[in-house]
Amino acid sequence: MHLSKIIFWCEDDSRLKFRHFQPKNVLKGRRAETMRVIKRNGSEVDFDIQKIITAITKANDASVRRELTGEQIREAAEYIRYKCEKMNRAVSVEEIQDMVENQIMATGAFEVAKGYVKYRYIRSLIRKSNTTDDRILSLIECNNEEVLQENSNKDPIVNSVQRDYMAGEVSKDITRRLLLPKEIVDADQEGILHFHDADYYAQHMHNCDLVNLEDMLQNGTVISETLIEKPHSFSTACNIATQIIAQVASNQYGGQSISLAHLAPFIQISREKIHKEVLEEAQMFGVQQDPETIRQVVEKRLHKEIEKGVQTIQYQVITLMTTNGQAPFLTVFMYLNEAKNEQEKKDLALIIEEMLRQRYQGVKNEAGVWITPAFPKLIYVLEEDNVREGTPYFELTKLAAKCTARRMVPDYISEKKMKELKEGNCFPVMGCRSALAPWKDENGNYKFYGRFNQGVVTINLVDVALSSEGDMDRFWKIFDERLELCYRALMCRHNRLKGTLSDAAPILWQYGAISRLKKGEPIDKLLYGGYSSISLGYAGLCECVRYMTGKSHTDPVATPFALDVMKHMNEACTRWSEETNIAFSIYGSPIESTTYKFAKCLQRRFGIIEGVTDKGYITNSYHVNVREEIDAFSKLKFESQFQALSTGGAVSYVEVPDMQDNLQAVISVLQFIYDNIMYAELNSKSDYCQCCGYDGQISIVEDDGKLVWQCPKCGNRDQDKMNVARRTCGYIGTQFWNQGRTQEIRDRVMHL
């Protein structure tokens, strides 16, 4: 027999012994054919026990003594099927192969096991010679389940998205084989850390930024070798802004943020222009030029232009397709106190009001029904003059609350709390949450726009805890070792950007989005001194604390340990910053798909541990576990202490039901945010079934071990015939999610 013909499958759990298993009793009535197996190219196939039987049989026949009987082979295969069923998720080929190896060893058939291990090693070497072909082919055929559900805002069926994913597979292959140290590649594959956006690492690209839209609009810019001068109207400024957004998105891989305050000065320019036109028309028609009548006509036309300009931003951002096959990950910042004078503040309020009105309305889907769009993300700043009844702009906040109740945005930043934490400053996050540290230029002035983040590497805190086996001394020792590994990975990111010439992305480095460097000038000076940031992400604080203390981190007994973990990461970042003059900070990672990756790796390495690894996801950053019963105000207050320590950015949320008829409750939450936490959001529900017209919350149900979306009214399960919007990582997702994230969405309890 030749082992080259064998198809092997598996999981490592030496604590479970084969001799204790009674397969016939346990498996009675179970349907193994409904289980799914993830092949190495990412596609899924039905579980087939006969393949395991055949594999073990051929390995046995290839050994000299044929140590296993037919009954032993059958029982080993049955036990592997049982273990796969208990996992309640699709199992990878590698996991099944590990199980096969363990079961052969458990029977004492060491010669068979030796042959099996040798075969796996040979096949591994062959695969490493070309790691991309199968995955790329599976992308083209649209059967790569891993990629199909990787990003809830990218449709992998579309050619442009496939092209980006195909390029990404090549980039990841080059990155893993040639560009990154093996220890980092191995740690990423084991789920010890996550090296974010490896599909863009081969290029000299950064993560996210605050676009200096003010500089580009006021002083001009260049797009596709064409000079764009200062616009002469608000609508033109909005049009140019969308072109800038598209160009920026195509030259980086993370989110970007713009401020509406940078568009506000063009309201007055349009007002003066319209006023001149109205006077000319009145003179032409011989109409008496009553100043109040003229003013009313001017303001009416100005409002039409504001409506047109905002509509340009909303629809252009949604319909733009950047070079990475998706709409720009854009965040729009709405901060009244950012205006330079009182008139500009009133004009800014007009823009914000129109932005909220249009977002409340939504956009039409292909059936002509108004639905919730994913972008742009909106952030509304709660200030002293808009947060309470009787303040000048409270009506604007009421409109924001109404929009949030229906469309999940805007999110909210407390000016009061941010100023307490950021040296008296209030400014946007980059993308969905990445936050800069205060930085002053050579004149001592704070500067935030035109700054950026170099990249992220996330540490799996749950793995640190489990690797320590609950021993506190070992925990801190392993923690330090893992932090040093993350540091080396982050320095790889930094060094990859080092030496990049401004010519690589002129819109960013030469024409004002980030800077105005000369042609051929390296960007290196922007990587040091705190101008840009680099982020140590973290995930699973909740499960980490539960394993180490036996309690939720919300328990007063366990909270100090959770805070110590946060402080320890901050201390590491401070030390690295002092040693390198690079601005390290800790970042509450959104880990949209990584939450599933980490969970699978933990289950494979440590088995199922109640409250820790017993689900298909781990908890984002410092968040309270989605299944834990807690009210909205207690959750926000509790998480605020962790958010203050997450200096590189984080966002808290509360899960709420349909609040459209209870806006006062939404207002109460917003007022609580203003007084207690820097940055938070409300997760409402906004779905639509195209089959029956149901406008409510689409349900998640289980079917043969797989979670599927189903209309509660007509039972429709076709994802192409429903519109579902959920916030999963700061941004709203609309393209559905992997099984781990779907389980997390299903498990969420209401906080209000």
- Residues labelled catalytic: 207-208, 430, 432, 434, 453, 587, 592, 730
Give the whole-angstrom CA distance, residue 248 versus residue 394.
34
Give the whole-angstrom CA distance, residue 481 versus residue 489.
13
Q: How far is CA 722 from CA 29, 406, 545, 641, 709, in A?
A: 34, 17, 39, 39, 9
Give the whole-angstrom CA distance, residue 737 versus residue 734.
9
The packing angle between helices 342-361 and 291-319, to 10°, is 50
Strands (E) across 565-637 are located at 583-588
Buried/exposed code over 392-416 (b: 16+ C-beta within 10 A; e: otherwise): ebeebbbbbbbbbbbbbbbbbbbbb
Q: Coil, strand or helix: which one is 47?
A: coil
Strands 226-228 and 652-655: unpaired
- Name the token pair of 18: 């084969």
Residue 77 one-letter amino acid: A
Give the whole-angstrom CA distance, residue 130 versus residue 132.
6
Give the whole-angstrom CA distance, residue 412 versus residue 424.
18
Give the whole-angstrom CA distance, residue 457 versus residue 486.
6
**Residues 654, 690 contacting (CB under 8 angstroms):** no
Strands 370-371 and 363-364: antiparallel
**Residues 101, 11 contacting (CB under 8 angstroms):** no
Sign of CA dihedral 664, 668, 669, 673: positive
**Residues 425, 448 contacting (CB under 8 angstroms):** yes
Q: How long a stretch of residues is the chain?
A: 752
Give the whole-angstrom CA distance, residue 295 versus residue 244.
33
Give the whole-angstrom CA distance, residue 334 versus residue 313.
14
For residue 475, count other CB atoms closer than 10 A to its CB: 21
Residue 670 one-letter amino acid: L
The closest of 417, 435, 412 to 680, measured between CA atoms, is 412
The packing angle between helices 632-645 and 559-580, to 10°, is 30
What is the H or E stretch that residue 743 is in?
helix 739-747
Angle 469-194-646 from CA coordinates, rounded to 5°: 85
Strands 411-414 and 679-683: antiparallel
Contacts with 40 (C-beta within 8 Å, 6 or more apart), sequence order? 93, 94, 127, 134
